Structure 1
Amino acid sequence: MQRALEDETYPMGTWLSIGHPAVAEVSASSDVDFVLIDTEHTTISLETVENMTRAVDASESPTDTIVRVPWNDPVRLKRVLDIGVDGVMVPMIDSAAEARELVDAIRYPPEGSRGIASGRATEYGDQFTEYVENANGSFTTIAQIESREGLQNVEEIAAVEGINALFVGPADLSGALGVFGEEEPPELADAMDRVIEAAATADVAVGTLTVDVADVEDRIDRGFDFLIVGKDTTYLSNAHRESRTVYDQAITNRRNRATQNQP
């Protein structure tokens, strides 16, 4: 994903909150550039993240795995990276200092403080030295902007070396601005524009989530460099509702025909 962001090829991802490798495998096989495994607002464990990552890697598609961790926690971050994922997304980055803490946590000494150990990322030790020597700077590192403080400091956050992308968290940011649940509120639009401008000035990418494909063109035209389009649970819900509508209409049509054919 990092190369796609650098090459400005508009990578598209999908959001995974169902903790099962089959969901990850199907998603990775469906022509998406990356999957985002959410461990902030789900019960997905690290062991499940590892199995979902294996499923993505086993697919024929060159799909990357990004994991959203619950917090800017160096312990959690190193354990996720040891799995061998392609990047991390970290919520509620509110200052440049927090962004620097994030970068420090995912880099090995002397550039950072990540603990050194073998694991899946090092092919269980077979590529231990090579991995440690080349890991720094190889992950897509995404800082979420989703609070008033983060928005206020977005220019400084974007300028931190090692931050590859910003991500507008639309739900939390709209809540922080007091406009959650409103349809296209101008306050959120203005906030998005500020984050987009800050990212452009710092020459880093910027993305967001949309669960409605009707919003994709607007988000691209607005200036976002990558999007997460849709969520696994939303896709399921929408498909079931659509099926129910078609089914009920078929029953109605059959009953209407039966009524019309009565003498």
Structure 2
Amino acid sequence: GEPFIIIQVEHVDAVNNLEDILNVSGLDAIVVGPNDLSGSIGLLGKTRHSEVMKLYDKIAEYCRSKGILFGCATGVGDQEGIKEWINRGANLLAVDWDIGHLAFSGKHSYEVTLGIYNQLKNRI
């Protein structure tokens, strides 16, 4: 089979050069890295800031115009974020990854353990 070629856009410079990037022969998809992209314009972690969202929309528009898949690496369990990306036109989503899954599971385990401790601490 043929390789599936994905480029991850994580910097405003890449957004500013999208026309050239999308002309790469064989390119199948663009995936946005929201946290790094927001950081590249001085808004690290503010992935839903209006200026960052303008960049997402610009990427989505370029991808649609070239018939290239558009997607995002979303947060683990971020249902609202996933809906936003789908509404923006994303047709390729990475909704889980190793570090995110470990962090999400670790937080859940901590919360469950803390809840049990709080219920039983008077017995200790």
Q: TM-score range by the shorter chain?
A: 0.7 to 0.9
Tell me the equivalent position of 1:51.
Answer: none
Q: Secondary structure at the match of 2:70?
A: strand
Q: 2:68 matched to which residue of 1? A: 204
Work out which of the residue numbers 87, 93, 109 in structure 2 matches 1:243. Answer: 109
Q: Is the 8 A contact 1:165 1:204 kept in 2?
A: yes
Q: Where does residue 5 of structure 2 map in the other structure? A: 141
Task: Determine the C-alpha separation between the residues in 1 that align with 2:27 and 2:114.
Answer: 50
* CA-to-aligned-CA distance 1:219-263 (integer Å, 9 cap, x gap): 11111111111221221222222222212222221245x5xxxxx
Alpha carbons of structure 1 residues 147 and 237: separation in structure 2 relative to 1, 3 Å: closer
Root-mean-square deviation (Å): 2.0
Cα distance, 1:179–1:248 mapped onto 2, change above 3 Å: same
Structure possessing the higher relative contact order (Cα contacts under 8 Å, 6 or more residues apart): 2
Between the aligned partners of 1:237 and 1:149, the Cα distance in structure 2 is: 30
State the distance in 2 between where 1:183 and 1:146 align.
12
Residue 194 of structure 1 corresponds to: 58
Q: What is the TM-score with the length of structure 2 in the denominator?
A: 0.85
Q: How many residues align?
A: 122
Q: Distance in 2 between matches of 1:251 and 1:142?
A: 46
Is this contact kept in 2: 1:208–1:227, CA < 8 A? yes
Task: Indicate which of 8, 32, 56 corresponds to 1:168.
Answer: 32
Partner SS, residue 139 of structure 1: coil
* Unaligned 5+ runs, structure 1: 1-134, 259-263
State the shift of 1:201 in Å. Answer: 0.2
SS of residue in 2 equivalent to 1:164: strand
Query: Is the contact made by 2:35 and 2:46 (CA closer than 8 Å) also made in structure 1?
Result: no
Q: Which has the larger radius of gyration?
A: 1
CA contact (8 A) 1:145 1:154 kept: no
CA contact (8 A) 2:71 2:90 kept: yes
Aligned residues of 1:141 and 1:165 also touching (Cα < 8 A)? yes
Query: What TM-score do you get using the length of structure 1 for normalisation?
Result: 0.43
After TM superposition, give the deviation of residue 183 of structure 1 in Å: 5.0
Give the % identical residues.
27
